[in-house]
Amino acid sequence: MTKKYDVVVIGSGPAGYVAAIRCAQLGMKTACVEKWHNDKNEPVYGGTCLNVGCIPSKALLDSSHKYAEAQKDFEVHGISLQKLSIDVPAMIERKAKIVGQLTGGVKQLFSANKIDGIQGTGKLLSGNKVEVTAEDGKKSELEGEHVILASGSVPIEIPPTPTDGETIVDSTGALEFQSVPKRLGVIGAGVIGLELGSVWARLGSEVTVLEAMDEFLPAVDKQIAKESEKILRKQGLDIRLGAKVTGSKVSKGKNKTVKVTYEDKDGDQEMTFDKLIVAVGRRPVTEGLLSDDSGVELDDRGFIKVDDTCATKVKNVWAAGDVVRGPMLAHKGMEEGVMVADRIAGKKTQVNYDLVPFVIYTHPEIAWVGKTEQELKEEGVEFNIGTFPFAVNGRALAANDKDGMVKMVVDAKSDRILGCHIVGPSAADLVQQVAIAMEFSSSAEDLGLTMFSHPTLSEAVHEAALAANGHAIHAVNRKKR
Ligand code: FAD
Ligand code: AMP
């Protein structure tokens, strides 16, 4: 028998679970199909983000940051510790508890919103039907007036370094090490590679990051990328740019190691590691998701084709999150989930793709929103720049957390803020303030006229906005007015 719903969502990551909750809030009878399960074959909600992505990585980043602070930074505050040690399994266990709490939270929200969570692998058939294959192979069928595809993404594997879950791992494996590897290799200096490399470097690993491209963080504002690279190198990350990994060989025996070969400008190179993390990006998940006659199309990179409202070409079939174009970020997927639910309910909600905030949770954090200086140059837009270093921000000095800077780019004619780029303490939260201002079309002057609490890290944002017009108080202005 086919069970009928107003909306069937496939996938319960940030895009899927948010879409399901919003649909239910708007009065629609909603089901969410999720293949991830526990040992009782119950669905585990939250997708990559809650289970093996944003949350567990931040749990380990926070734990390892505390350890690194205790080891390196306490002394300057006059605090000395007699004996400092880490219990890696306890750290990993703490992370697992947080994951359990949050995935359980989604389960409770589903139940409170009367959403039917269904364990199994969903496949879109023609006519908005969804075939569900449970873990035990049993098949059932659902029908949705609307179907939302939110199947997410998985790590990309590359032929030179096949993962074995033990010595060569992907991001998921790197969240489960039970001891600190002495020599850790990371392939890919992207967001995930830098975050996971930082975790283990702080705990004592000698970390080498091999990155095929010659430029460090090419998507980031050049000045901020340069500053970030300097800070991360100072922390001990051995970042090798222009290093393309070509092969690997795992040793036999008990204490396995992996020999990695790579090419750089000087020719063939070789390094041996105790563990290797492959962090070369993620790909959309569509295998087994669509029947041949579903009508849903993929683009040439394997993403489900959608328009700006996340509608596919098929009537009442939508797709959101990592499985569609755009940055693979949880918050981007969540906003799309809300938009799709609202649109199903007849509202005209839109996602402002121009204002997606980006964060790399190293320490200090690297975060940005809007246009970079180089993008504006390419577009021929005239702009002013305001910068402010944390080295002269009172709160950053009080906390002994003074690396980095805020950079604001504003339209030279209208004074409208076009972008904000930060490397520094709490950069993620600081950039968010500017994202809000930009959402309301704020000028640098508007931000400059806003009163900021003293002493706060936010004052660096205030001063950068003032500096864009030569009005910074606590720094010498590049531009005089
Ligand atoms: P996913 O979270 O991948 O969820 C998709 C779900 O669909 C999964 O649960 C999957 O089991 C299920 N599914 C797939 N196919 C089917 C099917 N046929 N039937 C049933 N179920 C199916 N993003 C940030 O914004 N901030 C961060 O700090 C951040 N850190 C990250 C750290 C790491 C280590 C990683 C790996 C990722 C990180 N991300 C971060 C990215 C973020 O996790 C993803 O962008 C986000 O999870 C995408 O959400 P989604 O709902 O599109 O897909
Ligand atoms: P991201 O897509 O941000 O997760 O970053 C992944 C990074 O991995 C990119 O910067 C790629 O250039 C890098 N990368 C991909 N393949 C290789 C390889 N074979 N060797 C070294 N780096 C690689």
Catalytic residue among 37, 421, 454, 471: 454
- Tell me if 142 sits within 8 A of 129, measured CB to CB: yes
- HSE at residue 399, side-chain half, CA atoms within 13 A, is 16
Please give the Cα distance from 320 to 335 (Å, whole number). Answer: 9
> What would the CATH number be for the domain defined by 364-467?
3.30.390.30
Query: What residues does 278 pair with on adjacent strands?
Result: 187
Q: Is the previous residue joined to 425 through a cis bond, with omega within 30 degrees of 0? A: no
Output the ligand 1 site: residues, CB below 6 A: 10-16, 33-36, 47-49, 53-54, 57, 121-122, 150-153, 171, 192, 285, 289, 321-323, 328-331, 333, 361
Nearest CA to ligand 1 atom 43: 49
What's the chain's average pLDDT? 97
- Domain ranges in the chain? 3-155+283-353, 168-280, 364-467
Q: Tens digit of pLDDT for each residue in 294-309?
A: 999 999 999 999 999 9
Burial class (CB in 10 A: 0-12, 13-18, 19+), 88: middle
pLDDT mean over 217-229: 98
Tokens of 473: 């108080």
The answer, as to whether pTM is greater than 0.95, is: yes
List all residues 6 or more positions away from 392 whose beta carbon is below 8 Å from its beta carbon.
Answer: 474, 475
What's the pLDDT at 85? 96
Instruction: List the one residue out of 435, 415, 426, 412 whose CA is nearest residue 459.
Output: 426
Instruction: List the one residue out of 337, 357, 359 whose CA is nearest residue 349.
Output: 337
Q: CATH says 3-155+283-353 is which class?
A: alpha beta
List all residues 6 or more positions away from 45 whose beta carbon is below 8 Å from its beta carbon.
Answer: 12, 17, 32, 34, 36, 103, 106, 107, 110, 117
* List of long-range contacts for 102-110, beta carbons under 8 Å, 24+ apart: 102/46, 102/50, 102/55, 103/44, 103/45, 103/46, 103/50, 103/51, 106/12, 106/17, 106/45, 106/46, 106/50, 107/45, 109/17, 109/21, 110/17, 110/20, 110/21, 110/32, 110/45
What's the pLDDT at 156? 98
Nearest CA to ligand 2 atom 15: 280
Query: What residues does 132 pair with on adjacent strands?
Result: 122, 140
Please give the Cα distance from 269 to 215 (Å, whole number). Answer: 19
Q: Please indicate whether the domains covering 3-155+283-353 and 168-280 agree at the CATH topology level.
A: yes
Please give the Cα distance from 430 to 423 (Å, whole number). Answer: 10
List all residues 6 or more positions away from 72 whose beta carbon is below 8 Å from its beta carbon.
Answer: none
- Tell me if 381 sits within 8 A of 405, measured CB to CB: no
Please give the Cα distance from 455 to 467 (Å, whole number). Answer: 18
Please give the Cα distance from 329 to 54 (Å, whole number). Answer: 9
Confidence at 394, pLDDT banded by 50, 70, 90: very high
Tokens of 307: 């328009």
Q: Which ligand is nearest to the CA of 12?
A: 1
What's the pLDDT at 480? 55
Strand, helix or coil for residue 463? helix
Q: Please indicate whether residue 454 is annotated as part of the active site.
A: yes
Instruction: List the one residue out of 396, 422, 395, 394 whose CA is nearest residue 408.
Output: 422
Decide if pLDDT at 479 tops 90. no
Q: Give me ligand 2 centre to Cα 127, in Å.
A: 40
Tokens of 121: 């692998």
**195 within ligand 2 shell (Cβ under 6 A):** no
Ligand 1 pocket test, pick from 54, 107, 130 with the greatest ligand atom count within 8 Å of Cβ, gives 54
Strand, helix or coil for residue 111? helix
Chain centroid to CA 169: how far?
19
Burial class (CB in 10 A: 0-12, 13-18, 19+), 21: buried
Report the percent of the chain where pLDDT is more than 70: 99
List all residues 6 or more positions away from 214 whose beta carbon is below 8 Å from its beta carbon.
Answer: 241, 242
Decide if pLDDT at 112 tops 70. yes
Q: Tens digit of pLDDT for each residue in 362-373?
A: 999 999 999 999
Q: Report the CATH fold assignment for 168-280.
A: FAD/NAD(P)-binding domain (3.50.50)
Point out the ligand 2 atom lying closest to the alpha carbon of residue 160: 19
Sign of CA dihedral 129, 130, 133, 138: negative
Please give the Cα distance from 407 to 467 (Å, whole number). Answer: 9
- Tell me if 321 sits within 8 A of 13, measured CB to CB: yes
pLDDT mean over 276-287: 98
Report the percent of the chain where pLDDT is more than 90: 97
**211 within ligand 2 shell (Cβ under 6 A):** yes
Q: Give me ligand 2 centre to Cα 190, in Å.
A: 7
pLDDT mean over 399-416: 98
Q: Tens digit of pLDDT for each residue in 51-102?
A: 999 999 999 999 999 999 999 999 999 999 999 999 999 999 999 999 999 9
Q: Give me ligand 1 centre to Cα 151, in Å.
A: 8
Ligand 2 pocket test, pick from 168, 209, 211 with the greatest ligand atom count within 8 Å of Cβ, gives 211
Confidence at 478, pLDDT banded by 50, 70, 90: confident
Q: Give me ligand 2 centre to Cα 185, in Å.
A: 13
